[in-house]
Amino acid sequence: MIDVETLVPAGPLGEYLDAHLDQGRGRPLCVEKIGLGKSNLTFRVERGAGAWVLRRPPLGELPATAHDMLREYRVLSALAATAVRAPRPVLVCDDPSVLGVPFYLMEVVDGVVIRDVLPPQFAEQDRRQLGFEMVDALAELHTTDYAAVGLGGLGRPEGYTARQVARWATQWGVMQTRPLDDVEAVRGWLEAHVPARSPSAIVHGDYKLDNAVFAAPPPVRLAAILDWEMATLGDPLADLGYLMVFWPEPGEDNVRGLPQPTQLPGFPRRSELIARYTERTGFPMTDLTFYRTLALWKLAILSEGLYKRYRAGKADSDWFAVLEHAVPAMASRAREWCGA
């Protein structure tokens, strides 16, 4: 376990905040790690009456173009004036003398993050709306005019899906720790079934229940979408397919390592979420088997990279040990879905 002081040294951070933020200037810092830290690392920073969330890259070998704090900050800054439910950024730093890596601060959004166990305040009668809030917030993102908010250069939406398959096939070569035939078989199927046409939008890239903050008191309301490190311009149905991977229904087998609260009574079915998304966006729902398979295949490859970091002693949580078996299970399930 890597201690917080190593990841976010309070002395240099305090000096930097003193120079750039008035609130709590000169007061001692309290830094606490929050979240599970499977990719970019997140901390709560308090100084006097001030409180912020700090994001920094993980330790260890990082894939090219990944964990770009300046880019993530730019996305949040552009979305601040829109209806998209994103935290407001506060301060960004690219000076390596502070933490050794770029980082940024954003506002604290109070509420509840749903992980593998559903908090008791979400009673059975609330869960349907919880699912619809996930879809409505995603639709708000996907229908935002990215050129109008200054994000026209964030990515290349044309050919996004084919590039995703090629990119993650390359990432597999970098991240793998063992041969997995299922990963290769799914890659071949995906390459042969890339949709010919698709809409374009701002894509979150990691959209699921535990990357959202829900307001604690009723009524059910999604307050903010978190973890924007993979945001780009591309095919919005990739986000929908990814959400469906994390939305198992009652009676379905679990994919080991993934949170499964949507199997509880009251949650809407995937078909209901897809119908609501269609209504909110107007996007045609085609090739959903492709998008769902792509999402789980990418997740298996990304998780293998996290497992590699864990084996190298660069992870800050023992949670990563489950990936020894979870990654092969994900790859096998993706192969089942597409019939490769």
pLDDT tens for each residue of 316-327 = 677 889 899 999
Thinking of the domain 124-338, which architecture would CATH place it in? Alpha-Beta Complex (3.90)
| Residue-wise pLDDT tens digits, 239-271 | 999 999 999 998 887 776 666 799 999 999 999
The domains of the chain are located at 4-106, 124-338
pLDDT reported for residue 286: 82
Report the topology of domain 4-106. Phosphorylase Kinase; domain 1 (3.30.200)
Full-model pTM = 0.89
pLDDT reported for residue 214: 96
Tokens of 24: 């709590």
Contacts of 65 (CB under 8 A, 6+ apart): none
Domains 4-106 and 124-338 share a fold: no
Would you say 84 and 140 are in contact if contact means Cβ atoms under 8 Å apart? yes
CA distance 305 to 271: 32
pLDDT reported for residue 118: 92
Burial of 134 per CB tally in 10 Å (0-12, 13-18, 19+): buried
